[in-house]
Each structure stands twice: as C-alpha cells, then as structure tokens.
A and B are shown apart, each in its own frame.
Chain A
C-alpha cells in the first residue's frame, strides 16, 4: 500500500509570492490534515478536510487555505508569503474519526 505522498519536497520562494502544496493520501483514507512544523513552534495544526469539506481549522491567518478533491487529494495554498512561513509542511491522512494519522514526508518551504 503506497504511503502519503507530498509534492514538491522542497520549495524556495520570495516574500509576497504564493505557493501551492499537494498531498495524496493513502488509498481509502478520506481525511487529510495539514500541519506546520518549525523549531520554535513545533507541530501546529492548520486544517483538516474530509469529503471535500473543511472540518476543522487551526489558528492561522486567512492567507493559509486549502481544499480537497473528490479523490481525497488535497492542496494547501499560502498567499503573500512571509519570512515566518518558512517551515516543514506535513500532511497526514487517516480513515475517519479517532484513528491514527499517517504522515507524508513533508514539503520544506523556504521563504527568502
């Protein structure tokens, strides 16, 4: 069974630009969650999508948005990038509800 895949793995952008990250969950998983990981703030929850609907959202500005497609693949978009957005962005998929999350390898975003 293929794991969670994320593309691209690495990305360098400049301030003010926007970026789109992609996540393909494990086959059969309908829930996709996104996390931002930084040395200072640790792992922080961004949002969760289930059946193309945003189910939960963390404490992040509106510049961070996402969506989920009918095949459960998800994209995350960050507009007007700031230096502080430099981080490892992880997506995780799970079946539903209180189940384990399977993490992808992450996308390392660097904002210059």
Chain B
C-alpha cells in the first residue's frame, strides 16, 4: 500500500521553511526520500533505517518515527533550487512479494 504524503503541494518564498510528511498504514522499516525536478529523474536525498533516526545535510533534514509509522522531511531557509516534487518511499511486503513503493509526491515551489 502506497504511503500517504502531505501536503500535496506547497508554495514558499525563498528563505521560508517547509515540512513534508509521509505516513503509512503498514509498518515502516525504512524510509527513503527523493526529489524530482521537472523533466528530470528522481535524485536521492537520504535514507532513514531506524526508528528515531534523524539525518540531514545542508538545510534539508528528516526524521523517522517508527512507532507512528511516519517520517517528516524538513527544508529550512528554502532556496530556489529546492523546487521540485518530493517523494518518500519504503519497502513493503504485500501479496505480490516485497517491493518498493513511493508516495504520490509533494510538489514544492520556491518563489523569489
């Protein structure tokens, strides 16, 4: 089952902060975050493998709450280059076996 992401879309001004949430009705064993710019392939941001784990680089960080089955991506002091669609992904085990599912994406637009 596909993770749920919120919000679906967000518009920011340069320098503002944003939070993107990813949650699942099934247990999350790991969470991957990717960003895809228009017309380009998704690019890896980070993986969180353990509950309580937090990671970050530059001004983008993420947390993983295993008990709540959710992860959040934090973008601080956003830059124009942060614009794109952000996807969370996780491995699940379903009737078809083990596969990797992405959320529907959150479209982030950073305006000057």
Q: List residues of chain A with CB under 8 Å of any chain B CB.
A: 33, 35, 42-45, 48, 55-59, 90, 92, 98-106
Number of A-B contacts (CB under 8 A): 55
A42-B102, A43-B42, A106-B41 given as contacts; is B32 within 8 A of A100 (CB)? yes
By a CB distance below 8 angstroms, the chain A residues around B91 are 98
Interface size grouping (class) on chain B: 20 to 34
Q: From DSSP, what is the main secondary structure of chain A's interface residues?
A: strand
Q: List residues of chain B with CB under 8 Å of any chain A CB.
A: 2, 30, 32, 34, 40-44, 47, 49, 87, 89, 91, 94, 96-105
A45-B101, A56-B100, A57-B96 given as contacts; is B41 within 8 A of A98 (CB)? no
Q: Which residue of A lies closest to B42 (CB)?
A: A103
Question: Which residue in B2, B32, B99 is a CB contact (below 8 Å) of A57?
Answer: B99
By a CB distance below 8 angstroms, the chain B residues around A59 are 94, 96, 99
